[in-house]
Amino acid sequence: MLRIDLTKSLNITQMEKYQDAIFVCDDAKHIAKVNDLQVDAKVLFRRGTANACLSNYEEAIDDLQIAQSFLPKDNSIANKLKEIKRLHEAKRKREMKVYSKMFDHDLK
């Protein structure tokens, strides 16, 4: 059942149904009764990827950091984490620029 959910989460993500993929990953985490770090990391990686596609960068970073703690030598997790941190920082800078313009406009 767990393998089916992992495959399903990948397929749903590829279909760009990211919220559904997050729900499937959440279910997979609850189903997993064995303490298999590789499976847990895979679920967290997929959920983090789906969250990033929805611009939920903080949740994605949290998931990927936990996944990385399970598999610290996994390059795909490290690369995805770096990419999402970069996207999160770019989003934060854009928001700061917009807010600064809003407040600057109010002062004039």
Q: How confident is the model at residue 77 (pLDDT cuts 50, 70, 90)?
A: very high
Each residue's pLDDT tens digit, 36-76: 788 888 889 999 999 999 999 999 999 999 999 999 999 99
Is residue 107 pLDDT above 60, yes or no?
no
Residues in the chain: 108
**pLDDT greater at residue 88 or residue 20:** 88
Q: Residue 87: which CATH number?
A: 1.25.40.10
pLDDT 10s digits, 14-40: 778 888 888 888 777 765 555 678 888
pLDDT of residue 95: 86
As to burial, measured by CB atoms within 10 angstroms (0-12 exposed, 13-18 middle, 19+ buried), residue 76 is exposed
**Number of folded domains that form the chain:** 1
What's the pLDDT at 31?
Answer: 59
Tell which residue, 12, 6, 14, 11, has the closest CA to residue 41: 6
pLDDT at 57: 96
Domain that holds residue 12: 2-107
Instruction: Answer whether 57's CB lies under 8 Å from 87's CB.
Output: yes
Alpha carbon dihedral 25, 29, 32, 36, in 10-degree steps, equals 100
Write down the pLDDT at residue 3: 61
